[in-house]
Structure 1
Amino acid sequence: MGEGMGAYMAYRVSTQTNMQFYKKSNFSVYRRFSDFLGLHDKLTEKYLRSGRIIPPAPEKSMIGSTKIKMSNQSDQGASADFIERRRAALERFINRTANHPILRVDPDFRDFLESELELPKATNTSALSGAGVIRLFNKVGETVNKITYKMDESDSWFEEKVQQVENLDAQLKNMLTRVEALVYQRRELSQCTASFGKSVAMLSNCDEHNSLSRALSQLAEVEEKVEHVYAEQCIADFGILCELLKDYVALVGAIKDVFHERVKVYQNWQHAQVVLNKKREAKAKFEIMGRTDKINQANDEVVEWESKVERGQEEFENISRMIKKELERFELVRIQEFKVTLINYIESLMQNQQQLIQIWESFLPEAKAIA
């Protein structure tokens, strides 16, 4: 919608549901990319502190967006690929959110799916906005805090899980790198096959031997078909495997976020305990000195910080329980998603191999007919 640098893409979000709190069972709305990011920010603000794993939204790509806005007719293919990849990523984000038993009933999520009104523009999602710059500095501060603060872990479950998540993160990133290399190699193979086919076609045109010329011409057509099969497999490598791995690298990042949130809650609890100890010491000094004018105030402060310590401990225990519950759900979903994805990928490989066999079998009689 719009023109030039002011243009933006609107995505149609269609919903089919049997939940009673929606007005209809089938409905559609149009949402901007920034609306998806705004929804993610709202859900994170509400639920991260309680230990919920928030499905990550696709990252904003300024380069990709700018290319679409400035693209001409010759760039339409690349723009269409970018739009389709982003659409698929947004769809996975919404579906993962809708599959979460708590997030799917959130009022902001329901408004996102159902409200026919245009949502308020989420200005803080812009990378160049003031809020975006502040968010960047906050992330830097959070990263420094993650590195510098070490929590004395008393729960062996968390100690084990943190290490497991770190290992999973490393292996997913390693596999993603390998699959991206595979996609690149298949794309190269497809392009080389196309070049080879053109060379064979040119050779067939200048060969005076009729049966050989005919066979070479058929081989050129075969190579063109093979090139299409390789291109389809390249798309499957990227669309099925690569995108799933990217999603799970981001999901593991979301798990790390809730782990860090638990550490922050622990920090607040321990800080309250330190302050409480100081308040008790101050109260004891006033009692020894007989400062009756200070004792009442000191006592009130002790009571106040005792309450904060209790709330801090309760919050820490609550977020610990919630993270365990969320990770249990994450593992069940992860296993199922990887199972479905691997089956789809294997089926695509088998289908493409069968196509290649049929293509070469159809050419074999022509090759044998060379006389």
Structure 2
Amino acid sequence: MAARLLAYEVSDLCLGKPALTSLPISASIHHALNALKSSNDTHISIWNCDHNQSDTTNDDQQLIDECRCVGKICMADIICYLCKDDNISFPSTALKSPVSVLMSHVNVPSVVKHVEPSFSLLEAIDLIIIDGAQNLVVPIKNKTSKRKQLRQYPTIAPTTHDGGREYCWVTQEDVIRFLLSSIVLFSPTAAYSIESLGIITAEILTINYHSPASKAADAISSSLADQTSVAVVDDDGVLIGEISPFTLNHCDEMVAAAITTLSAGDLMAYIDCGGPPEDILQVVETRLKERNLDGMLDYLKSILYHDTNSSSSEDELSSSPTSTGPGRYKRSNSYSARIMRRAEAIFCYPSSSLVAVMIQAITHRLSYVWVIEDDCSLVGIVRFSGMLEVFREHLESMIN
């Protein structure tokens, strides 16, 4: 059975996966924002393609080496970008910037890595553990030549690349989920506590519940790059909740205004329950006025207000289940169109078993789980990468 597990390839993890949603690196942040809101994906793949090839018999073969996925962006990237001092005052201008400005935290070649379908499961785990890969880009299907598609859609990168190939990507979650399906092979290791396995990381990002959420802006960016989160704690270090990029990915860009104006505790309420409460929205508006952030205030109104004299069609009304009446805020459609994670933190204990923590993380679609003591004081965090190190050692023992 162990030999069978080691024989698996990354193509086995791609079964049933949809093709990547993609944009060219020359696209604007505004284009990426629209793509994220209209897609079921939380991330958009960014491609750098050189299609300036002569139309010869070998065109497709030449294009294979000229089109690469160079990164990924998500709603949390855009939110963090808008939180910067220069951008919070002029969000409309900031959104006209190219998506490349969002990719500083993913501009390391190993974060997004191209691999062939025949790449082994063991090699994939090594890329994650050793090289820090977060997404493995894998070709999944051959299509017709993309030359025709590029002529039809010259300004938008198609979802097919490299001579018409379609791609999906394999994430750390995919690998963990796959290993969980064969967890019996890792007995008794999988039943050991995470403390005994030494995979609890004490280096964590935190913010006090009463502190301005703006103090967490840089920490949110760091947690996004590390696929973790920012813990919200009280004065005694007790875990209250979190500000998670995974939750922000299901919000809209207006969270940037909330991060700028609210406390960490109020921000948790803002991003919780599928959309911001109206009273908190009013607080955001008032504080934007006080700080003379007129550009963000105008942008806020353009997104969240509707004209008191306008009438909505039945389709528009049905798409906004929380319509609040004339002159009041509407929740963005991006909330109602997605399944929202709450701002409450998912946690375990040092004595929790590895398999139990795996199930927790996968159930909540997270790449980490917080670790607390019995008194709820925060101990650290367990990440997928740490779990994979344990499985890699076990697989190594199988080989030897």
TM-score tier (shorter): under 0.3
**Structure with more of its chain in strand, by fraction:** 2
> TM-score if structure 1 supplies the norm length?
0.25
